[in-house]
A = this chain, B = another copy of it.
């Protein structure tokens, strides 16, 4: 299978396999994570290329590509999150290897042959499913974003993180496939007084959230696949809950248990955490739907425009409530706005790529984007958002992002 590797150095996942491991192999500069290092041909038209099955039949990215998820420096490595490099993203799909993730007790490694999902509580017939059972049921595929409601939590009081990966990298889009939650709920028979359903993960945090039964019966999916293959481990392999448009924390990963009830379960993640402290001292609870948001990914923080001239301003917009209908872009800090073009297809509850041609004359500029969704909701300015929410919140910052462009081309994160 690895015919030909003996004459090449090989590196993968950032871990070097030196000359001693492969007969005739040479130690080389370290390949980025996810890449295999191959010899570069001085003139590839004059020399046979490498053999295709050098990669074992599952291809890897180019050794010249090195973007990775960035782990936010939480105090503990065991409960942390890592963010998608949005600046290098293209289109709407996030490569599965770069999908953001949030975990509360590390990433469990689960054998799908032994994994089960239990459904009980206020149902006529409690049920237990193996993964094979679930895969035999009717399935559905949907392209949706998931956004952690903590996306941007560093940015409330002042611009803090330098890049769009830091300010907005807790949102990603995949095509998800699985069984509608309504299918298994109908099999079990939901009782009349049912109003909520608990979802529980089989990680060491035993992550739990309560979900309104109406959402569960509407568009929720028990997802076992992502972008055409099995879920990635850090996305909940072998099974996660997908609640289109709801805050990411509710999309319980490594899903093992569902319990139907007449009231919410008041778990830690919906009482102590994932609530929004308002200016009057009360807390907003079950703020589940992600409101419309957008961000310019090019140009964005920590980039430098090499010279005046033509640039295509591009970014992504999304709403937990449906389709994006319009994105407007300002290059003068919100004084004037132009409508951006949207890449089709514009899908409901999905990243939508927008683009606007911009000729930069070298002047100081402040770039902003503003999303409007099909409910008519308009993404607020930071000032508008703070007027309602105050500065005690952690979650649900969806204000307009501003990028300052200096005359020398340097782009920085600002509040404007």
Contact = CB atoms under 8 A, between A and B. Distances in A.
Interface string A88-101: 11111111111101
B17 A2 contact: no
Contacts of A89: 228-229
Interface stretch (A46-54, A149-157, A260-268): A46-54
Given A61-B230, A140-B343, 9 more contacts: A13-B36, A13-B58, A44-B254, A45-B202, A45-B206, A52-B101, A57-B70, A93-B93, A93-B175
Contacts of A280: none
Given A69-B57, A112-B64, A50 B106 contact: yes
Given A10-B15, A13-B12, A345-B345, A229 B141 contact: no
Pick the most buried of A21, A107, A113: most chain B CB atoms within 10 A of its CB: A107
A375 interface: no
Interface in A313-342: 314
Contacts of A95: 96, 227-229
Given A12-B12, A12-B15, A52-B101, A141 B343 contact: yes
B61 A204 contact: no
A108 B227 CA distance: 26
Question: Which 3 A-B residue pairs are closest in the complex by CB-CB distance?
Answer: A49-B106, A33-B56, A57-B68
Contacts of A57: 33, 68-71, 82
Interface of A: 1-5, 10, 12-15, 17-18, 21-22, 32-34, 36, 38-41, 44-65, 67-71, 77-78, 80, 82, 88-99, 101, 103, 105-113, 136-141, 143, 175-177, 202-204, 206, 225, 227-234, 237-238, 254, 310-312, 314, 343, 345, 347, 353, 355, 357
A228 B98 contact: yes
Contacts of A65: 229-230
Number of copies: 2
Contacts of A41: 108-110
A5 to B, nearest CB: 8
Contacts of A311: 136
Main SS at interface, chain A: loop
A303 B314 CA distance: 46
Contact of A53 (B17, B61, B71): B71
Contacts of A88: 229
A33 to B, nearest CB: 3
Contacts of A14: 1-2, 56
B49 A204 contact: yes
A43 to B, nearest CB: 8
Nearest to A69: B57
B139 A97 contact: no
A48 B175 CA distance: 29
A59 B234 CA distance: 8
A139 B312 contact: yes
A139 B91 CA distance: 9
Contacts of A70: 57
8 contacts: A50-B109, A52-B77, A53-B82, A64-B113, A93-B175, A98-B228, A136-B310, A139-B314
A229 B52 contact: no
